[in-house]
Structure 1
C-alpha cells in the first residue's frame, strides 16, 4: 500500500495510523484482514520499525486492530459495520412448562444429513485437527497397552493422562496432582457425576442464563430445580447478583462455564472468579466449573479458572479434549476437590472405568508437546474465523441484530428482532441445508426465541460465507414479512 505523508512531523505514527483507520472505515480493509507486516512497511517506506509499531499500538488502543502472537496485526473492529452487542440477560423466575426436547433432538438428528453446513455443532471441524498424529498415538497405545487395550483401566483413569492434565493445569494457575483427577467420558459426563455427588432431588442449583442445554436437561432428569441468573455477555454472572440469589434462595450448588461460555461466549474476569469462589465458600455452596473452552483463547495468555482460587476443595473443575483435539474420543476429566471419593464411587457404579485406548493415546499425545503446537494453530484459525463471521454477519444480516464478541471459543450468540422465532427460521434454513441452534434450547423459561447460536469451528470458505449470506437473507425476509 502507498502511504501519503503531509510533510515532516514529530507525529508521523499518527499519519500512518490515520491512513489505516480511513481504509478500515471505508472497508478497503475489512474485519479479519491482515495489516502489512511491520518490517515490510518499514522497508518500503523507509520508516523506523518503532514508528510503525507506535502507529499499530495507536490503532490497537482504539480497538480497530489487534495483535496475534507470531502472526501480526489484524482488523478487528469497524464501527460502521459491527453489529450491536447483546445486553445482560434478565431471566424471569417463573418457569413456564416448555418442551424443547423435540427441538434439540431435531437439531442433532439433522446433523446426519449430507451437505449440511453445521453452524449448530460447537466442536472443531476434522479439517483443523491433527488427525494423522492422533492416529499414530492411537496405534502406538494399542501396541503398548496390556492386552492391546482390551483390559479395564483403573477406576480413577489412565495415570499418564491424569499426570499430563495435572501438568497442563499450570497454564491456568492450577496446582493439580494426578491423584486429584478422575477421567470421564467427556466433560458432560464429568458434570453429571458432579451434580449427582453434591445434590439430591428437589435441590436448587443456580446457573448462568442462557446456559448449555445439556446441563439443563440432565439437572431436570434427576429432579433438580434450576435458578437462572442474570448474565453479562462479556463477564458472566456478577458476584452481587449471585449474593442476592444466595440470600433469597436455598441454593445447593452452582454451575458456570467461566471461560468462553456456551452459548454467549463470555469470559469471566479473574478477579470476578476469585470473588465468586470466596462468596460460595463463605456460604458453603460448591461450584461446578465447566472449563471446556479455556484453552481456546485469542489473547496472549490463557484465562485462569475458578479452581485456581479454590483453597477448600469447593470447586469441581471439569474439562475435556472434545473442543480442542478429539470430540469423538469422549475423554474428559474432573478435579472434584473434597468430593473425589463420591465421584469415584459414582463412576464405579455407572461404568466401572473409562475407554482404555483413547485415554492412553491422549496421554501420549499430551506428553510429546504436540498439543501446544496444535493449539497455537487452532487458536489462530478460530480467531480468524470469528472475525470473518462477524464481518459477514454485519454485511448480510439486518442492522438491528445484536451480537456477542467472544475472546475465545467457537461460538457466536445472535439476538434478532423480537418478533422473529428462530425455530421457524431453523426450519426454513434447513431447507437450504443450513443448521444452527435456536436460542430456546438454552433455557427452561419462555425466553430467547429470537436468539440463535452459531459455531465458527470449521475452516472459513466460500461455502461458509455463502451459507451466512443465505441465512442473513432469510432473516431479512422474516423481518420484512412481519414488519
Structure 2
C-alpha cells in the first residue's frame, strides 16, 4: 500500500522523474517555477516547496537571477577504471582482517563511515516501539513460546503482500524468516554447496559474503561489474563455460560497495542464463528497497521462471538493524533450507517478527521508505559534493544509484589499509578496499558510508580523510 504524501512531495517526485527522462546534466537549467506551475496546474508556492526538497537533496542548486540548475557534482568525477574481468577460483582469507577492522572502527570511530546501516534519526523508532509493546502485551500471545520454524504468520503474510507486482508473487508457504540477511545467505550456501566448490561472486563484493565462503571452505570466482551496473553478463557467461560453478552470490540492486544496480532487462537475462544451466543464484537484496529511482527496481527473483533463485532480504537496512529480521525464499531448495534452519537454531525471535508484521499492517512502511530514500539521497549528494571539494582531484567515483555507500578509487600509489589505520587514529572509521576482494586489486579503494547525518562533525571528518590521503 502506497502511503499518502503532500502535493509538493508528489510534484517533487514528478520533477525528479522528468529530469531523468530528459537526461539533464550538471549545469543544465531546469524549467522555471512559473512554467512548471502552469504545466502541472499547481500553485507557484507548491513548486517552490518541491524545488526546496530537490535542493535539500542536492539534485538542484539555486543561482541568483538564473533560477535553478542541475547540480554538477556528478560531472566532477571519472568513474573507477573497469579493468577487472574475472579471477581464477581462489581460497578466501579475509575474516581476520575484516573482523578486526570493523571491531576497531566500532570501538574507536567517533565518526564511523564503516557501519552500513541507517542512523536512528532516519528510523521510525517511536512507531516500532509501539508495535513491540503491542506484540508483548497482546492477550492472545504466543510470542513467549517457540514459534513455527518458517516464521510468524503475521510477518509472512506482509512479506508475501509486498511481492504482488512480481511476475510470480510469493506465497507465505515459500518464505522462511531468518536472523538477518546473512543467515539467509549462509543457509542458502549450505543448501547448494559443498566444501571445495566454486562460487561466483561480484568483484568487488560485500566482505560478509567472502567471510561466509571462507568459513565453508568454498572457493571464490570473482567476476567484474558491467559499466551499466551489476555483474557483467558476458563475463559471467564466459566464466561458467570455463569453470564448474556450483552457485552464484550476487547483489543486483544497490550493490555493496559500489551502489550500482542492474537494469531489469539484465536481471531477466541473468535469471534465464543461470536457470537454463541449473546454476543456483543466491540473490542478496538487503539494500534493494533503497534504490533512488522513481520506479521500484525489481529483484532477479521476480523474473525467475526456473525456481532457481534463492532470494535473501531483510528489514535491517530499512527499519531496525538491531532486530536482525531477514528472510529467504529459496524456490526448489526451500524444504532443504527449512531443515537446515531447524537444525541450526530452530527459529527466529517471534516477538520482533510480530512487531514488524504489525508495523507493516499499519500501512506506514511505504511512507517511511519514501522519506528514507529521499533523506539518503540527500545525504549521498552532500557527501559527494564534499568529496569533490576536499579530496584530491585525481580520484574516481560513480555517484551511487542507491544503498548506503560510496566506492572511491584513490590514486594508485595509495595504501587504503594504511589509510584506514591512520584515520582510525583520528577517531574516524572507513572500509579499505582490501576486504571486498580475494585479490589485491582494490588496495587503493575505500568505501565511505553516508549514513551518519551530514553536519560540521562529519564534514570535518571528510576533510581529515582528504588530508591523510
Q: Shorter-chain TM-score category? A: 0.7 to 0.9
**In the alignment, which of 343, 353, 356 is matched to residue 347 of structure 2?**
353
The aligned counterpart of 1:193 is 187
The alignment status of 1:344 with 2:338, answered yes or no, reads yes
The reply to whether residue 294 of structure 1 matches residue 288 of structure 2 is yes
1:272 aligns with 2:266: yes
1:418 corresponds to: 412
Q: Does 1:161 align with 2:155?
A: yes
Unmatched 5+ stretches in structure 1 = 1-16, 18-23, 30-34, 54-64, 476-483
Shift of 1:307: 0.5
Say which SS state the counterpart of residue 149 (structure 1) adopts: coil
1:318 aligns with 2:312: yes
Q: Deviations over 1:92-137 (max 9, x none)?
A: 5257778543331222212433661111011101111111111110
CA 1:233–1:128: 2 relative to 1, 3 Å: farther
| CA-CA distance at 1:458 after TM superposition | 2.4
Which residue number in structure 2 is paired with residue 479 of structure 1?
Answer: none
Q: Aligned pairs, how many? A: 429
Superposition RMSD in Å: 2.9
* Structure 2: tracts of 5 or more residues without a match: 1-18, 20-25, 42-50, 62-69
Deviation at 1:88, TM superposition (A): 2.6
Q: Quick check: 1:246 aligned with 2:240?
A: yes
Does 1:225 find its partner at 2:215? Answer: no
Q: Superposed, which structure 2 residues align to 1:30-429 within 5 Å?
A: 41-42=33-34, 49-50=37-38, 74-75=60-61, 77-78=71-72, 82-91=76-85, 93-94=87-88, 99-113=93-107, 116-144=110-138, 149-170=143-164, 175-232=169-226, 234-429=228-423
Q: Partners of 2:93 and 2:396 in 1: how far apart?
A: 26
Secondary structure class of the residue paired with 2:163 = helix
d(CA) in 2 for partners of 1:455, 1:317: 25
Q: Quote the Cα distance in structure 2 between the aligned partners of 1:264 and 1:150.
A: 41
The superposition leaves residues 48-101 of structure 1 with CA deviations (integer Å, 9 ceiling, x where unpaired) of 735799xxxxxxxxxxx9996999963554279622111335155257778543
Asked whether the 8 Å contact 1:89–1:209 carries over to 2, the reply is no
Correspondent of 2:468 among 464, 474, 481:
474
Could you tell me how far apart the structure 1 residues matched to 2:142 and 2:73 are?
58
TM-score between both structures, scaled by the size of structure 1: 0.83
The structure number with the bigger radius of gyration is 1
* Contact residue 158 and residue 360 of structure 1 kept, 8 A: yes
Query: Is contact 2:58-2:382 (8 Å) kept?
Result: no
Cα distance in 1 for partners of 2:172, 2:92 equals 42
| CA distance in 1 between partners of 2:404 and 2:83 (Å) | 21
